[in-house]
Amino acid sequence: MSLVTILPFVVLIGAMFLMTRSAKKKQQQAADMRNQMQPGSGVRTIGGMYATVKEVSEDTVLLDAGPGVDLLFAKNSIGAVLTDDEYNRIVHGIEHDLKSDTDVVPDDASSLTETDGSADAAASGDQSVDLGKKDEDLGTKDAAEADEEPEKTAEEKTAAADEEPKKTDGDSDAKK
């Protein structure tokens, strides 16, 4: 056999070896993480439930999921052991790293509205509201010409519609 026929097999075996090696390394890291669990640490299960470790045995973990709720899980069903800050942020919504000098976004829009009387006056109709549309924005005609032009009658509208070219479904008289 030549080197050209053996080379694809060697590359395939090498790729399989690298993939199994990285998978074993991930499994070893997960096992180390589970072995470092201690009572009181926050965890997330592979199902997405957050709880506090109450007791750790060889193959199982007793989790406190709430007041009076103790759950027994297999150790390999723990997806992640969380730091105290991360667990409190996710479960209790407690942020420790907030800066007091930064602007805080309000929960509602009431603080974003005007507090002086100009908004109340505009709402009551005492002032006209400018919506940004000017007479120059009407196009080629100004507002005075638009008011002077009489409306078209129904006959003029149908005559204008008859003058427009008709749309066809692809049939053409030119090819007949």
| Of 55 and 145, the one with more pLDDT | 55
Q: Output helix, strand, coil percentages for the chain, rounded to the nearest 5.
A: 45, 15, 40
| Of 9 and 142, the one with more pLDDT | 9
Q: What is the pLDDT of residue 70?
A: 92
The sign one gets for the Cα dihedral 133, 138, 142, 146 is negative
pLDDT tens sequence across 87-113 = 888 888 877 655 555 566 666 777 666
Residues 71 and 51 sit within 8 Å (Cβ to Cβ): yes
Least confident segment among 42-46, 63-67, 149-153: 149-153
Q: What is the pLDDT of residue 126?
A: 58
| Residue pointed to by tokens 């075996």 | 13
Distance in angstroms (rounded) separating the CA atoms of residues 71 and 138: 71
Residues 81 and 91 sit within 8 Å (Cβ to Cβ): no
Q: What is the pLDDT of residue 71?
A: 92
Distance in angstroms (rounded) separating the CA atoms of residues 64 and 55: 9
Instruction: Provide the token pair at 67.
Output: 């007041």
Strands of the chain (E only): list them.
Answer: 42-45, 50-56, 60-66, 69-74, 78-82
